[in-house]
Homo-oligomer: A and B are copies of this chain.
Amino acid sequence: MGDLRSTRPITSPDIPVSAELMCRAIALALENVRCARGGPFAALVAKDGKVIAEGANSVTATNDPTAHAEIVAIRAACKALGNFQLTGCDLYTTCEPCPMCLGAIYWARPARVFYAGAAADAADAGFDDAFIYEELQRPPESRRIPMIQLMREESLAVFAAWKQQANKTKY
């Protein structure tokens, strides 16, 4: 995670943006709607211009509120690469990512993100995540879902154990 905060520039792959890959993601999203599998969103991860993994929204089909297209594609791509980082990869997504997916993108650290629809287009179709951005900026105790701190002192033992742990895999 130190990696993510470093000033080391994220290396952009020397590969032109691909309209073909975005078309493929859009086709996948259309198929997802027509087959009634899930929401109108799809994404794919490409490396060196080749698709590593695809994902379509499957929140309702899998009873998984985190199964947004980007998360599904990122998880599948990391599995395919055997790595928890998408170094040098491009993410193509049919819509501007929501805050959850943006967070996932920063943890996965692809080189570039290409998106088609804007957040406003998604909002117009009933998918409005603006309220989450608003909530994120509020202090925990003032949020719509109450967030209450307790037992901080007791929890510090976990971080102390982590600091003392030898041979840990940082991320």
Q: Which residues of A contact B (CB under 8 A)?
A: 1-2, 4-5, 10, 12, 17, 19, 22-23, 26, 29-30, 33-34, 36, 39-41, 59-60, 63-66, 68, 71, 74-75, 78-79, 81-86, 94-96, 98-118, 121-122, 124-129, 131-133, 135-137, 140, 144-152, 154-159, 161-163, 165, 167-171
Contacts and interface: CB of A to CB of B under 8 A. Distances in A.
A93 to B, nearest CB: 10
Contacts of A101: 100, 103
Contacts of A36: 165, 167-169
Nearest to A118: B152
Contacts of A12: 146
Contacts of A125: 159, 162-163
A79 B99 contact: no
Contact of A84 (B59, B109, B144, B167): B59
A78 B99 contact: no
